Amino acid sequence: MTTRRAFFRGAGAAALAVSTAAVGRAAMAALPEVTSQTTPETMPPLLPATGRPYNPVVTLNGWTLPWRMNAGVKEFHLVAEPVVREMASGFSAHLWGYNGQSPGPTIEVVEGDRVRIFVTNKLPEHTSIHWHGQRLPNGMDGVAGLNQPAIPSGKTFVYEFVARRPGTFMYHPHADEMTQMAMGMMGFWITHPKAKHPLIDEVNRDFCFLLNAFDIEPGSYTPKIMTMLDFNLWSWNSRIFPGIDSLNVRLNDKVRIRIGNLTMTNHPIHLHGHEFLVTGTDGGPTRKNTRWYEVTTDIAVGQMRQIEFLADEEGDWAFHCHKSHHTMNAMGHDVPTMIGVDHRGLARKITNLIPDYMVMSERGMADMTEMEMPLPDNTAPMMTGAGPYGSVEMGGMFSVLKVRRDQKAGDYKDPGWFKHPSGTVAYEFTGPLAEPSRFRADGGQSMPRVETPAKPVEVRARKPAGNGGHAGH
Ligand SMILES: [Cu+2]
C-alpha cells in the first residue's frame, strides 16, 4: 500500500471550499489520509482496530479501505481517478476506479455507525457516488442533479449518514453513469450487525465480489463506453479467469459469499459440489422459512445476493456464471460453427497470408486452447487456464472453491491443486467398444423403423454471429 498524504495536503485547500450544512467544520479541518492499492492480489481481511468488533470480509482480488475515527465518526476517503487494472496476467485495462483500483476498495462498517465519506474527484469529468441499497437522508443518496450538484473535477464532497441496517451494499456513480460504470467505477459495502442477529449467522469465511463487464477490443486498453449490451469481457472485480483468485477454505468451514451485479445482464452463479442457501438479498437477511437449497442462483442487474454453505466436500470445485459465453474472454472474430468440417493445418497456413483469418470450432472450440493462435498484444486468450489435467478451457466469470482439510483457520493462501485420492478420478475405459443395440438395422429392441417417403433435409445451424459473437443476451 502506498499513501499519498503529501499530494492531498495540497489538494485539501480546494476541498474546503465545498461544504455542506450537515457536516461540522471542525471535522472537515483535515482530510483523512488517502490509502491506495495497486496490486490485484486478494488482500487478507482488515481486522477493525477501532469501533465495534466484527468478522471482516475478504474481497476477491481486492481490499478493504482503512478508516480513521474522528469524534466517534468513521471517516473514509475515496478518490475517483483513472487506474490501470491488470485484468489477468498479461492483460491490463485503462479504467476508472477509486484509490488506485477498479473496483474501488470495500467499505466495512457496523450497524449504527455514523459514517463520513470524503470523495475527491480526480476524473476529467464530474461524478457522484450513490450508496446502493442504503437507508439514508435523501440529500446523501448521490444522484447528481436530483439529490446534489455533481462533484466537479478537482473537488471533494462529503457524504455523511448512519449505517442503519446490516447487509450487503454497493456504491457507484450516479453522474454520467453509463460511461463511469462502463469504465469500472464501483465498489462493495458491507454493514455488519452490531450484535448477534437472529437471521445473520456467524461464518468462518466471508467473501465478496462484484460482477462487472467491459467491452475492450482485442489489442486495445480502454473500454468502449457506448456499449449497451454487447460486452466481451465478463469479470469478477474487474478480473477475468484465470486472473480471478480461488476461494480457499478449510474443510467444514461455514462459508458466506456476497455477490453484487453491476453489469447490464443477469448472471446465474453456479457452485459445484455443494448446495447453498440464499441468506441475504438487496433488502437484507432473508427469513429462515423462505430459504431453500440451490446450486445456482440468478443475480439480476443491480441486485446483491448472499449465499451460505458448509464446505464439507474436499476438492477443487468450479464456481462460475452458467452462461457459457460469460466464461469466455473477448473474441475478435465472427465465428460460424465448423464442426464436422476438417480444416486441420489449413488455418495456420491461411493465417500466415491473412492475419485476421481463423477457422474455429471444426471439432468444437477446444482446439482454440491448443492452437496457440496468434493474439494481438494485451489480449487475454478466449479459453484458457492450465489445470492439473490440461486446459480448463474457460475465461471470464470462473473461479475455483478450494476445500482443504489442512487449510489453517484464517489462512486464505492458495493451497495449490487438489491431490485426488487414488481411484477417485474419472478414468478411461479400455475394453472393446460395442455398437449400441438400438442402431441395429432391424431396429434392435425398440419398435421396427417405419420408412416414410419424406426426403432427408439438410439443416445448417449457425450461431448468430454478432460483433464479437456476444450479441443479444
Ligand atoms: Cu454471467
Q: Specify the higher pLDDT residue, 358 or 398.
A: 398
Residue 339, all three cell numbers? 464442426
Q: How far is the CA of 238 from the centre of ligand 1 (A)?
A: 14
Report pLDDT digits (tens) over 190-229.
999 999 999 999 999 999 999 999 998 888 889 988 888 8
> For the segment 64-84, what is each residue's pLDDT rounded down to a tens digit?
999 999 999 999 999 999 999
Considering the chain, what is the average pLDDT of its residues? 85
**pLDDT attached to residue 16:** 34
Q: Which three cell numbers stand for residue 28?
A: 472537515
Burial state string for 139-170 with b = 16 or more CB within 10 A and e = fewer than 16: ebbbebeebbebbeeebbbbbbbbbebbbbbb
Gap from CA of 300 to ligand 1 centroid (Å): 10
Q: pLDDT band at residue 385, thresholds of 50, 70 and 90?
A: confident
Q: What is the pLDDT of residues 419-469, one digit of tens each?
A: 999 999 999 999 988 776 665 565 555 666 666 666 767 777 776 555 544
Residue 404 phi/psi, 5° resolution?
-130, 140
pLDDT digits 0-9 by tens, 396-411: 999 999 999 999 999 9
What is the structure's pLDDT at 202?
95
Q: How far is the CA of 153 from the centre of ligand 1 (A)?
A: 34
* Paired sense of beta strands 35-36 and 2-3, if any: antiparallel
pLDDT at 11: 35
For residue 240, the number of C-alpha atoms closer than 13 Å in the C-beta half-sphere is 32
The per-residue pLDDT for 454 is 66
Note the pLDDT of residue 365: 59
Q: Compute the distance from residue 168 Cα to the ligand 1 centre, in Å.
A: 20
pLDDT grade for 109, boundaries at 50, 70 and 90: very high
Whether residue 22 has pLDDT greater than 50: no
Q: Which of 116-125, 270-279, 434-443 has the lowest mean pLDDT?
A: 434-443
Read off the pLDDT of each residue in 134-150 and give the average, rounded to a whole number: 97
Distance 473 CA to ligand 1 centre (A): 10
More confident residue, 312 or 30: 312
How far is CA 133 from each of CA 20, 124, 141, 188, 304, rounded to the nearest angstrom?
Answer: 23, 27, 10, 11, 9
The mean per-residue pLDDT over the stretch 14-22 comes to: 37
Confidence check: pLDDT of 473 > 90: no
Distance 212 CA to ligand 1 centre (A): 9
Average pLDDT over residues 358-385: 64
Cell numbers for 467, please give them: 460483433
Residue of 159 and 228 predicted with greater confidence: 159
Whether residue 242 is preceded by a cis peptide bond, meaning omega within 30 degrees of 0, is yes
Neighbours of ion ligand 1 (CB under 5 A): 267, 321, 323, 326
How many angstroms separate the alpha carbon of residue 41 from the centre of ligand 1?
23
Query: In 3-state terms, what secondary structure has residue 185?
Result: coil
Kindly state the percentage of the chain with pLDDT values over 90: 65
